[in-house]
């Protein structure tokens, strides 16, 4: 418009150049050097008439980086070069305009020009971004250990997980810890697979069974148990936000029962997700439809489905193109338009009869208007071709087929990473639901392999769990060695972690042979805000939803199921937790229960030594050492006639120990 921003006759007077160079006052400060290449390009463009883009301009197809992979040492430096590849065949050095971000500053840092400085050992990557294209330049920095190659050649291997893990440990010069003892393994595997402690009989039987296939038979038993169904139904209820503050009681129960039945039948993960995404009908009879009761707008449906099932947080693209990922605002609204015709009777008013029942159906018309354009985007999954506006199909079938396709790398990687995190305490990608390109896996070949293993086994999650449980990587001791204590993400050893809140509470009850009563908070607006919803004997891992009035579960970081984010569950320690375990209203009343395990052992005439032995076996899955036995017996004897109190205190000392509260 021949305004002041561009002065074609005198480019230097253009505000586009005068302000960022400081020639005129500018709140942003100095942003452009008059001697720079950028200044010369802009000045020449203005002098040439400030021509707009044309249909004949070359389009950026991809970028490439050098080096793609580099092996460096602490203190080394490197330079990353970036090339832009255009559809007219040109390859242009765009390093000057690329943006760089280090993914692990403790290993390697990078400046705005792409200069890398190595700071520590491990694997790191530099995210390179240019023109909405993203690439990674990977840096491998071995640890300063001298380890004979024969250590890795002779290390025990059970499957592909061990091969790929040991290959990385060899490259990084990290010593693998030796195998855990049998007592530790059976406790670890039982807690990780079915969410409870092994019984004393189960522990002793596994310790005594020295046959070559004993571990395989243990794994099969765990995967086939009823507790497996309860545990994994609870885990997927976290993911799907089964929550009594979002749904009425009948809907909560229906949704949970659908999940529970899916796990019981061992439905493949792709089928479960397809059924969720395409669910229609009465929310009481078709539990999966409650996904659409929790997420009632196309935007919410899109964001939560992407986060839950692909580990992609695309919410930033709702307002603008993602600044450091490839997702655009157009892609966001194209994806959201796939959900634009989902309708339900009962939304926007009081549900039928006040019971929370909704009937989900798909309308034959309706589009989601993109605010920035004032028109709808042609409906299309991310990175996929659009369908026509008048396509008669249920659009959700299109997104479900695309999302669960073996060719969709996000889908298989996301669930493989979640399963891996359950057994190892951290995902190969961490955080577990953050699979953006700028957050690479700690072992990319291994994540690719476990993802492909799932695809090859038709998304049967039990097959992946079996491979993990059978691996020597999972069976390693948690005791660090001098040559691996400096690492915390390459699985050279098992990483101890605190039991999740629900499992910890159930474990206390299991040891003491007690139970916990639970009360649920009713859906807002209901006549009664608290409802007795769970029968006596219900374990915490069997709870339908997160709206439970439990100080213990809240204190120990249960997932409130408010948003689809693994960050909602916390394993962070706190002084409140310490005080509650030491002297709160959870353990102490259970210790004093007249019908608990302590009472039974005393009434059956067991000696103090037998009780101590039983305590260690049921709580820690091992027998006490001679020193532990002697010390506890000595303390018990000091109580004199108050034997009951002495034994209660012995149980208290074990139940409040780190060894009990952690899987290790």
The dihedral through the CA atoms of 233, 238, 241, 244 has a sign that is: positive
* Segment 428-449 mean pLDDT: 92
Where do we find the tokens 């050492």? 625
More confident residue, 597 or 313: 597
Residue closest to 280 by CA, chosen among 337, 343, 339, 340 = 343
* Segment 520-540 mean pLDDT: 63
pLDDT in the model for residue 3:
67
Calculate the alpha carbon distances from 48 to 21, 51, 508 in Å: 20, 7, 78
Helices (H), 337-443: 395-403, 409-424
Which residues, at least 6 apart from 74, have a Cβ–Cβ distance to it below 8 Å? 118, 119, 120, 121, 141, 144
Residue closest to 305 by CA, chosen among 335, 285, 282 = 335
Tens of pLDDT, residues 148-193:
999 999 999 999 999 999 999 999 999 999 999 999 999 999 999 9
The mean pLDDT of the chain is 92
Chain centre to alpha carbon of residue 47? 53
pLDDT in the model for residue 352:
45
Tens of pLDDT, residues 276-326:
999 999 988 999 999 999 999 999 999 999 999 999 988 888 887 766 677
| Beta-carbon-side half-sphere exposure of residue 271 (alpha carbons within 13 Å) | 13
pLDDT in the model for residue 356:
64
What is the band of 348 on the pLDDT scale with cuts at 50, 70, 90? very low
Tens of pLDDT, residues 601-645:
999 999 999 999 999 999 999 999 999 999 999 999 999 889 999
Angle at 80 between CA 77 and CA 84, to 5 degrees: 175
Q: Checking DSSP bridges between strand 133-141 and strand 69-71, what pairing results, if any?
A: parallel
pLDDT at 132 over 90: no
What is the band of 350 on the pLDDT scale with cuts at 50, 70, 90? very low
Tens of pLDDT, residues 541-595:
999 888 888 899 999 999 888 888 888 888 888 899 999 998 889 999 999 999 9
CA atoms of 14 and 7, how far apart (whole Å): 5
Tokens of 522: 């009713």
What is the band of 239 on the pLDDT scale with cuts at 50, 70, 90? very high
Residue closest to 230 by CA, chosen among 272, 187, 255, 196 = 196
What is the band of 134 on the pLDDT scale with cuts at 50, 70, 90? confident
pLDDT in the model for residue 351:
44
CA atoms of 331 and 129, how far apart (whole Å): 18
Which of the 8 DSSP states describes residue 28? T
pLDDT in the model for residue 399:
95
pLDDT in the model for residue 528:
44
Judged by DSSP in three states, 93 sits in strand
What is the band of 17 on the pLDDT scale with cuts at 50, 70, 90? very high
Calculate the alpha carbon distances from 561 to 159, 239, 361, 400 in Å: 36, 8, 25, 23
Q: What pTM was estimated for this model as a whole? A: 0.91
CA atoms of 432 and 564, how far apart (whole Å): 12
pLDDT at 354 over 80: no
Q: What is the residue extent of each domain of the chain?
A: 11-47, 60-141, 268-403, 501-663
> Edge-to-edge strands of the sheet including 122-130?
69-71, 133-141, 122-130, 99-102
Where do we find the tokens 């995404």? 277
pLDDT over 90, % of the chain: 79
Which of the given ranges, 3-7, 18-22, 286-290, 471-475, has the highest pLDDT on average? Answer: 471-475
* Segment 358-384 mean pLDDT: 92
Which residues, at least 6 apart from 78, have a Cβ–Cβ distance to it below 8 Å? 67, 70, 72, 115, 116, 118, 139
pLDDT in the model for residue 500:
95
Where do we find the tokens 């060894």? 659
* Segment 469-480 mean pLDDT: 97
pLDDT at 415 over 80: yes
- At residue 552, φ and ψ (nearest 5 deg) are -65, -50
pLDDT in the model for residue 249:
85
Calculate the alpha carbon distances from 181 to 175, 177, 469, 654, 660 in Å: 18, 12, 15, 20, 17
pLDDT in the model for residue 524:
52
Instruction: Give 60-141's CATH code, choosing from 2.30.29.30, 2.60.120.260, 3.40.50.300, 2.60.40.1080.
Output: 2.60.40.1080
Q: Checking DSSP bridges between strand 77-79 and strand 115-118, what pairing results, if any?
A: antiparallel
Contact 377, 340 (CB under 8 A): no
What is the band of 221 on the pLDDT scale with cuts at 50, 70, 90? very high
Tens of pLDDT, residues 83-101:
999 999 999 999 999 999 9
Contact 660, 498 (CB under 8 A): no
* Segment 342-358 mean pLDDT: 64
CA atoms of 517 and 663, how far apart (whole Å): 25
Tokens of 460: 């049967």
pLDDT in the model for residue 1:
55
pLDDT in the model for residue 655:
96
pLDDT at 68 over 70: yes
pLDDT at 438 over 90: no
* Segment 238-254 mean pLDDT: 89
Contact 507, 196 (CB under 8 A): yes
pLDDT at 353 over 60: no
Question: What residues are paired with 631 via a beta bridge?
Answer: none
pLDDT in the model for residue 324:
61
């Amino acid at each position: 418009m021949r305004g002041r921003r561009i002065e074609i006759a005198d480019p230097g007077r253009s505000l586009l150049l005068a302000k960022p160079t400081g020639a005129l006052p500018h709140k942003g400060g100095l942003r452009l050097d008059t001697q720079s290449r950028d200044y010369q390009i802009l000045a020449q463009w203005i002098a040439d008439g400030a021509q707009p883009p044309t249909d004949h301009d070359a389009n950026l197809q991809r970028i490439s980086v050098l080096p793609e992979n580099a092996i460096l040492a602490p203190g080394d430096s490197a330079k990353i070069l970036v090339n832009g590849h255009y559809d007219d065949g040109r390859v242009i050095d765009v390093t000057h305009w690329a943006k760089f971000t280090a993914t692990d500053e403790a290993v390697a840092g990078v400046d705005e020009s792409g200069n890398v400085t190595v700071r520590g050992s491990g694997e790191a990557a530099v995210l390179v971004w240019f023109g909405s294209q993203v690439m990674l330049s990977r840096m491998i920095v071995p640890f300063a250990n001298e380890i004979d190659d024969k250590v890795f050649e002779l290390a025990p291997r059970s499957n592909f997980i061990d091969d790929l893990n040991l290959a990385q440990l060899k490259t990084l010069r990290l010593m693998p810890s030796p195998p855990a003892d049998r007592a530790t393994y059976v406790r670890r595997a039982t807690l990780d697979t079915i969410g409870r402690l092994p019984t004393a009989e189960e522990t002793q039987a596994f310790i005594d069974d020295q046959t070559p296939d004993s571990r395989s038979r243990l794994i099969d038993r765990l995967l086939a148990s009823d507790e497996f169904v309860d545990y994994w139904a609870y885990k997927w209820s976290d993911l799907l936000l089964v929550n009594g503050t979002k749904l009425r009681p009948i809907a909560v129960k229906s949704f949970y029962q659908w999940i529970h039945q899916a796990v019981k039948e061992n439905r493949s993960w792709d089928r479960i997700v397809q059924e969720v995404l395409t669910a229609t009908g009465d929310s009481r009879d078709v539990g999966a439809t409650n996904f659409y009761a929790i997420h009632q707008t196309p935007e919410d449906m899109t964001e939560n489905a992407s986060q839950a099932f692909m580990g992609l947080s695309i919410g930033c693209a709702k307002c603008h193109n993602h600044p450091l990922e490839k997702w655009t605002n157009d892609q966001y609204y194209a994806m959201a338009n796939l959900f634009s015709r989902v309708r339900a009777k009962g939304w926007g008013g009081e549900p039928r009869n006040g019971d929370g029942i909704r009937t989900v159906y798909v309308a034959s018309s309706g589009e989601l208007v993109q605010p920035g354009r004032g028109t709808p985007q042609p409906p299309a999954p991310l990175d996929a071709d659009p369908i026509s506006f008048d396509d008669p199909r249920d659009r959700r079938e299109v997104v479900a087929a695309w999302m669960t396709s073996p060719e969709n790398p996000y889908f298989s990687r996301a669930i493989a990473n979640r399963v891996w995190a359950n057994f190892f305490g951290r995902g190969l990608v961490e955080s577990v639901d953050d699979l953006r390109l700028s957050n690479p896996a700690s072992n990319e070949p291994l994540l690719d392999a476990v993802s492909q293993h799932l695809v090859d086994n038709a998304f049967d999650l039990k097959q992946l769990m079996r491979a993990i449980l059978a691996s020597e990587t999972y069976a390693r001791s948690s005791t660090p060695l001098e040559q691996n204590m400096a690492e915390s993400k390459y699985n050279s050893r098992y990483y101890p972690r605190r039991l999740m809140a629900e499992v910890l509470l159930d474990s206390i009850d299991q040891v003491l042979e007690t139970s916990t009563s639970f009360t649920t908070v009713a859906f807002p607006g209901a006549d009664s805000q608290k409802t007795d919803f769970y029968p006596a004997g219900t374990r915490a891992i069997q709870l339908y939803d997160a709206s439970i009035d439990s100080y213990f579960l809240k204190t120990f970081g249960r997932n409130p199921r408010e948003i689809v984010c693994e960050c909602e569950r916390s394993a962070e320690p706190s002084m409140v937790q310490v005080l509650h375990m030491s002297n709160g209203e959870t353990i102490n009343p259970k210790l004093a229960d007249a019908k608990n395990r302590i009472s039974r052992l005393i009434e059956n005439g067991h000696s103090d030594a037998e009780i101590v032995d039983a305590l260690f076996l049921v709580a820690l899955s091992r027998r006490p050492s001679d020193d532990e036995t002697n010390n506890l017996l000595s303390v018990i004897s000091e109580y004199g006639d108050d034997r009951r109190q002495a034994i209660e205190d012995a149980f208290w000392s074990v139940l409040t120990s780190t060894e009990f509260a952690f899987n290790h």
